[in-house]
Amino acid sequence: MTQTRRKKGNNVTLSSPISLIEGLGPKRVEAFARLGVFTLEDMFFLMPRRYEDRRNPKPIASLMPGTTDCTTGTVSEIATSYGKTEAEITDSTGSAGIVWFTDKIGHFLHEGMRIAVYGQLSDRYIVPKFTHPEFEILKRGAIPELIGKIFPIYPGTAELTQKIIKKFVALTLDKYSEQCLKEFLPQRVLERYGMMSFREAITQIHGPSDELSFVKARNRLAFDEFFLLQAGVIMRRNSQDGQEKAQILVPGEKSGLFMRSLPFGLTGAQERACGEIIADMQKPKAMNRLLQGDVGSGKTIVAVIAMLAACDSNAQAAFMAPTEILAQQHYLKLEKLLAPLGLKVALLTGSLKTSARKRLLDEIYCGNVNIVVGTHAIFSEDVDFLNLALVIVDEQHRFGVLQRGALIAKGKMPHVLTMTATPIPRTLILSVYGDLEVSVLNELPPGRQKIRTISLKPSGFRKVPKMIHEHISRGEQVYWVCPMIDEGERDLASVNDTCERLREILPEARIAVLHGRLPVEEKSAVMQEFAAGNIDVLVATVVIEVGVDVPNATMIVIEDAGQFGLAQLHQLRGRVGRGKAASVCVLLENQDITPEGRERVNALVENSDGFELAEEDLRQRGAGEICGTHQHGVTDFRVADFLRDEKILALARDEAKELLERDPELRSEPALRSEIVRRLGGVLELAATS
């Protein structure tokens, strides 16, 4: 047994399982797994939730009731009663009471012993009295464990007490830190910022010697995360630079025809974005641009103008949407706009029948189709384009940022325009996307009115049918969004229930339901009927969350609003306010809304600015979910925080840039290179060796 342990110990790495730690049996391994700790790396990076400063035990006389503190003293009295032990400790300044809710303490604690105590002082007494504190018998010549240092407090579980976690973290540090925590940052960087070594930083995080050491340790680890990501992003870009050049796309006859046929003028912001995009596409370097524009700012037209430049240059374009409903809607619109120009638009989704799909793939391959609209099915393996030169990715935050690899795998290097209504904070863009250019539509088409947003408590719910009635009697339309399709285990509003209820209350209204479980044909039929104005109230799940554009809809009711994320609520609200008429968004707070849910609802009521809401969202949810990189692990930082550590991010960026300019393949920094590949290789598609 010991022998196999030692053998394993010889090639222990950060990725080794924690089961090799001595004394960590299968049960504990499972318990740690529930904390997300599987490998030694996870153990090293198990970040304390907070710290307790137990460096300076206080004289008893200065202990304050109602606080948490530590002291030392001599046991002057001890008495045990059923289920309880009471004691008194004394030092030269005074004495304090202690109560433990167990009668076992008296077995080993006696009068005259010196002890250290850490815990809460009851606020029900004027004299200091500890309630069930931790304590330690102080032995002459031995270093106390309980006091005299800054104590880490870990995110524990019922099975894993602080004591157990601390024990195994300490064991891991003791046995494996020398072997596993080898320095990988360049010497120059370490020196320039007087940075702590990797090993020292991890050690200090689990037991800082003082405040400054903690800050230095934390900053070092945050720097690491930004620096490695930045360097990885730059390396990836370098490795792609040599690839096939993109086709030059220039607007021509069809673009001109289209612009003249538009029933409205472009907004200044749209003009600017189009200019930037067209300029990008006239360069041989593939465009990688993000178009950010709040819901309703008119991104689709900008995309159409870009696609027309591709068509005018005898190339194909693909327009990818996150849902079938949205793909369908885009298809119908584009078809209507572009068929008169003699362009062929096709819809390619996962639900196409085999024979129809085959026919369509042939057409795409021959180049008979100019523009393919679809879901991610566009990039299935069997889809081949004759000459794909431009890819538009709509509502990008639903896709994740790292799909360019899949596009490039198609054999060509298309220009890529991603569009999003969820503004991504600048710090995030810079670091995750590296080389991404950004265009912003910071202007809504003229005549739009601000959407009135209100929240209602259950007592106010009965106002809603009357409001709906007013809207539909003016010929306008209404969305009603519920979190569930059917009544389920959780007591949340469901589409089918709500529809029935509404039909009773509003017998005159034409009401339909829409959700993901309906057959595709039915979904698109309902959507078309709604768009045509033949449905007054559409009761739906979040399938309508993004992109759906029916300007005649002027009211949206969101039931159980606390259930939805902030970005999601903002998107949903953006379904209305798309036409000239005044619109309203009604948020229903159900009985058991959580405090966080209420916070989101309030944020939406108070704020109509997508950018500010996005920052709030980032604060509440973290970066990974926002830019869709969560499943890829790119922004799963353990230490760094995009908002709080903006300065460190900037430094890390500069350092990474400078280093990679000097040494694009990191030949002089093999340790750094392998750490980048180890942490990010999979997600950034970096090769292990150059």
Interface contacts to ligand ADP, rule CB under 6 A: 264, 266-267, 270, 293, 295-301, 421, 445, 547, 549, 551, 578
CA–CA distance, 674 with 684 (Å, rounded to integer): 13
Could you tell me the smallest distance in angstroms from the CB atom of residue 379 to Mg ion? Answer: 20
The binder of Mg ion chosen from 322, 547, 579, 597 (CB under 5 A): 547
User: Looking at this protein, which amino acid is placed at residue 425?
Assistant: P
CA–CA distance, 215 with 221 (Å, rounded to integer): 10
Could you tell me the smallest distance in angstroms from the CB atom of residue 446 to ligand ADP? Answer: 6
Q: Would you say 345 and 335 are in contact if contact means Cβ atoms under 8 Å apart?
A: yes
Q: What are phi and psi of 136, to 5 degrees?
A: -150, 135
Could you tell me the smallest distance in angstroms from the CB atom of residue 445 to ligand ADP? Answer: 3
Could you tell me the smallest distance in angstroms from the CB atom of residue 557 to Mg ion? Answer: 22
Contact region for Mg ion (CB under 5 A) — 74-82, 458-466, 545-553, 620-628?
545-553
Contact region for Mg ion (CB under 5 A) — 216-224, 371-379, 443-451, 539-547?
539-547
Q: What are phi and psi of 656, to 5 degrees?
A: -65, -45
Could you tell me the smallest distance in angstroms from the CB atom of residue 394 to Mg ion? Answer: 6
* CB nearer to ligand ADP: pick between 28 and 333: 333
* CB nearer to Mg ion: pick between 422 and 541: 422
Could you tell me the smallest distance in angstroms from the CB atom of residue 519 to ligand ADP? Answer: 26
* CB nearer to ligand ADP: pick between 170 and 339: 339
Which are the contacts of 400, defined by CB distance < 8 A and separation ≥ 6?
627, 628, 629, 631, 632
422 binds, among ligand ADP, Mg ion, none (CB under 5 to 8 A by kind): none
Binding mask 495-534 for Mg ion (x = CB under 5 A): ----------------------------------------
578 binds, among ligand ADP, Mg ion, none (CB under 5 to 8 A by kind): ligand ADP
* CB nearer to Mg ion: pick between 324 and 655: 324
Place of tokens 């504990």: 28
* CB nearer to ligand ADP: pick between 166 and 575: 575
Neighbours of 319 (CB within 10 A): 27
Could you tell me the smallest distance in angstroms from the CB atom of residue 341 to ligand ADP? Answer: 17
Comparing every residue's Cβ against ligand ADP, the nearest one is: 298
* CB nearer to ligand ADP: pick between 101 and 264: 264
Could you tell me the smallest distance in angstroms from the CB atom of residue 546 to Mg ion? Answer: 7
Query: What is the number of residues in the chain?
Result: 690
Neighbours of 451 (CB within 10 A): 21
Which are the contacts of 279, defined by CB distance < 8 A and separation ≥ 6?
none
* CB nearer to ligand ADP: pick between 296 and 322: 296
Place of tokens 């399982």: 17
* CB nearer to ligand ADP: pick between 25 and 446: 446
Which are the contacts of 446, defined by CB distance < 8 A and separation ≥ 6?
267
CA–CA distance, 402 with 419 (Å, rounded to integer): 14
Q: What are phi and psi of 3, to 5 degrees?
A: -70, -45
Contact region for Mg ion (CB under 5 A) — 142-150, 488-496, 501-509, 542-550?
542-550
577 binds, among ligand ADP, Mg ion, none (CB under 5 to 8 A by kind): none
- Interacting residues with Mg ion between 318 and 377 (CB under 5 A): none
Could you tell me the smallest distance in angstroms from the CB atom of residue 628 to Mg ion? Answer: 17
Q: 98 has which bridge partners?
A: 87, 130
Query: Where is 118: in which H helix or E strand?
Result: strand 114-121
Q: Which is nearest to 300 in space by CA: 417, 202, 464, 162? A: 417
657, 662, 666, 669: CA torsion to nearest 10: -100
* CB nearer to ligand ADP: pick between 231 and 327: 327
Q: Would you say 389 and 413 are in contact if contact means Cβ atoms under 8 Å apart?
A: no
376 alpha carbon, distance to own chain's centre: 21
Q: By CB under 5 A, name the binding residues for Mg ion.
A: 547
